[in-house]
Amino acid sequence: MSEFLTIKEASVWASEHLKKDITTSNISYLVSYGKIRKIGDNGSSLIKKDDLEKYYASFYGKREINWKEQLGSDLNWHLSFDYLKESDTTKHIHRLHPYKGKYIPQLVEYFLDNKTDEFKTETYFKKGDIVLDPFCGSGTTLVQANELGINAVGIDVSAFNAQISNAKIFKYNLSDVQLELNIISNKLKQFIANSSNIKFEERLLEELNILNSKYFPSPEFKHWLKDKKVNEYEYAEEKVKMFQPTFDKLVAEFKIQINQKEQKTFLDIWYLQPVRNEIDFVFNLVKQIENPSTKKIVSIILSRTVRTCRATTHADLATLLQPVSNIYYCSKHGKICKPLFSIYSWWERYSKDTVKRLVEFDKLRTNTNQFCLTGDSRSINIFEQLENKFPSFAFLAKEKKINGIFSSPPYVGLIDYHEQHAYAYDLFGFERHDELEIGPLAKKQSKEAQRLYVDGISAVLNNCKQFLIDDYNVFLVSNDKFNLYPTIAKNAGMKIVNQFKRPVLNRTEKDKAAYSEIIFHLKNI
């Protein structure tokens, strides 16, 4: 019969069992999120020692212990949100468009929400407050603020980022959106029906299926690799060469022009000619939409489609290496794959998915104000620019002032934020301001790059501070591996009053290494 333990007894037992400090909060977290069943009421909760032992022997339990060994015992596992499914972290409009470097909505919600629990003993914002995100990105803070009944202002130097953010929180006439999507889908279907491209792709897939069934059977091929019966890349290269004459024959038979003649812009280089033809066709239809808000959300759907249809391998979609215009071995799927020759299926999928997500968000949205301004957070006059774009919100903001900041500034030398959406800048003609990015990939992570980063983030805080209430709360999410934020806080006339170190799970598809970030809580000196 299993031994029953109180929360405190479980903490003592686990600490001895693991030879590590396991607090009562650690145990309470396991109970709160269903990792371990509790028995009895809140006043006398008990847990089985067997259940606790099984958890720490499981993958999830081992991961928590291993990560704390690598990253430090101060790692706040409660903020890992490891109980969430991917569908939770990409809920409703948060997956309206891909975006590198965004945080999960639950992290924003945790700090903005006015609820407390045993892990969070104070609150920082309440309904009706105004929160600022000076590095708005794809608008996660704005969306979660709306859900919680909080007003929010975003700022981003990238015009396309601002468009994504505003597209998420805008209220649409969904009947009109669906009507325009149906019109475009029908016209696109007619457009490609008259081309040989679809017939070419159908034949190509038929031939590839025959090849893959014979030489890359699933799941047998994975076992061959595991048992080292074949050398993966030598074997795959041999089969690609074997199939190449079939591919070339089909291209000639259907008179397919694969590559574009011009190789100047991103759209020229990273899209095959049949795909480019369809992109231009749909883009011209989008320009004809009369309702401005409908046009904006349909443009976002087109952008999402265009991003997916770049001429690259499945494994390199997130980090482009070189354009692909031929068949190739796909390590991700373990078979011979092909680049995309049509946008139609993705356009259809994203059209349906977007409408579904907008409907879901409409059930949750509150009657509050959110807007993302395009500009440089180091110098922008927030109230003045808001007056130009959203006068009623500007009046409220001037009267109340902003209660605080929740934002994830760019990291030093990791991402070029304009370049990740280069296709959109080409397609929609947005003006680029790469030179205004703070900590861009192009400047890398040298001492000079770090100095410029400190100056940039400090300038943002100093500029934004004038629009905040005196007793503000600023939360900045960063993996501060260069220990720059103490200097940033000092330069901005702020003090770091708390730090929340959280594990970042499943950061990328390829990188499963232990990784953490810190949420710095800053206040006025």
Is the distance from CB of 164 to CB of 170 less than 8 angstroms? no
Is the distance from CB of 269 to CB of 323 less than 8 angstroms? yes
* Residue labelled with tokens 């212990």: 65
Give, for 321, the enclosing helix (H) or strand (E).
Answer: none
Is the distance from CB of 123 to CB of 88 less than 8 angstroms? no
**Residues of the chain below pLDDT 50:** 1, 509
**Given this model, what pLDDT does residue 49 score?**
87
Distance between CA atoms of residues 257 and 366, nearest Å: 50
Distance between CA atoms of residues 228 and 292, nearest Å: 58
* Residue labelled with tokens 């047998």: 220
Distance between CA atoms of residues 135 and 438, nearest Å: 10
pLDDT tens per residue, range 199-211: 899 999 999 999 9
Domain ranges (residues) in the chain: 4-57, 86-170+365-524, 174-357
The backbone torsions φ and ψ at residue 381, rounded to the nearest 5 degrees and listed phi first, read -90, 100
Distance between CA atoms of residues 491 and 282, nearest Å: 49
**Given this model, what pLDDT does residue 318 score?**
67
**Given this model, what pLDDT does residue 314 score?**
83
Amino acid identity for residue 9 in this structure: E
Cα 250 to chain centroid, rounded: 38
At 394, list the tokens: 């500007």
pLDDT tens per residue, range 321-369: 789 999 999 988 899 999 999 999 999 999 999 999 999 999 999 999 9
Is the distance from CB of 489 to CB of 452 less than 8 angstroms? no
**Given this model, what pLDDT does residue 415 score?**
85
Distance between CA atoms of residues 442 and 450, nearest Å: 13
* Residue labelled with tokens 């812009």: 265
pTM score of the predicted model = 0.88
Domain 86-170+365-524 CATH class label: alpha beta
**Given this model, what pLDDT does residue 124 score?**
97
Q: What is the DSSP string of 181-248?
A: HHHHHHHHHHHHHTSSHHHHHHHHHHHHHHHHHHHS-TTHHHHHHHTTSS-HHHHHHHHHHHHHHHHH
Give, for 519, the enclosing helix (H) or strand (E).
Answer: strand 516-524
Residue 416 burial (C-beta neighbours within 10 Å; 0-12, 13-18, 19+): middle
**Given this model, what pLDDT does residue 511 score?**
54
Give the residue ranges of DSSP H helices in 254-390: 266-269, 273-287, 292-308, 344-362, 382-389
Contacts 24+ apart (CB under 8 A), 183-190: 183/285, 184/282, 184/285, 184/286, 184/298, 184/347, 185/347, 185/348, 185/351, 187/281, 187/285, 188/278, 188/281, 188/282, 188/285, 188/343, 188/344, 188/347, 189/344
Cα 486 to chain centroid, rounded: 27
